[in-house]
Amino acid sequence: MKKVFISMLVASTLFAAKSFAQVSATANAGADIVAPIAILKTGDMNFGIVARSNVNGWVQLSAAGVRTTTGGALLLSQTGTVTPATFAVTGEAGYTYAITLPTSVTLTNTTGAGGETMVVENFVSTPTVAAGGVLVAGTQTLSVGGELVIAGNQVSGNYLAGTPFTVTVNYN
């Protein structure tokens, strides 16, 4: 019996030693907080004065504010106000961001009989959607142009968007 007791005492000591064989490690936690990205409209898009004809036409307004035409759209020597839409994008200096442009916006005649519409589509921007933007000093100007679709014999008038178009930016 004494041998059995000693054997059990030795075995329990060996098992007990293994149950206390623990090791530990530590880790730190951290986070970087950045300024939220924001966008503020600083100027509206305006295609200026355009003459219509009896065939469909298009006016392309670049993000730099340069107009070109195809089809029946005619540019006059009196241009009126010609501007791309401009936005101030702000956020954390050195960070990049993605740009999302709308697919189209409808302009409605606000004079005359009213109700006639035109569409702006094929939006372009500087910086481009493909490249995205860089907040070099925590801010960048985003310019947006597009293509105005003018129907043949479009009714004369002042056309405005009933609902402003949306440009979205977000950190990469």
pLDDT for the residue 21: 81
Q: How many CB atoms lie within 10 A of CB 165?
A: 17
Residue closest to 81 by CA, chosen among 164, 156, 158: 158
Q: Is 115 left (phi over 0), alpha (psi -120 to 50) or beta?
A: left
Least confident of 92-106, 110-124, 141-155: 110-124
CA distance 139 to 83: 21
3-state SS assignment for residue 82: strand
Check if the beta carbon of residue 96 is closer than 8 Å to that of residue 83: no
Given the DSSP bridges, would you call strands 168-171 and 104-109 parallel, antiparallel or unpaired? unpaired
Q: Fold for 37-171, please state it.
A: Immunoglobulin-like (2.60.40)
Helical spans, DSSP H, in the chain: 2-19
131 neighbors 96 (Cβ within 8 angstroms):
no
Residues 6 or more apart in contact with residue 115 via CB below 8 angstroms: 108, 109
24-41 residue pLDDT tens: 999 999 999 999 999 999
- Asked if the model's pLDDT at residue 16 lies above 80, the reply is no
Name the residue ranges covered by the structural domains of the chain.
Answer: 37-171
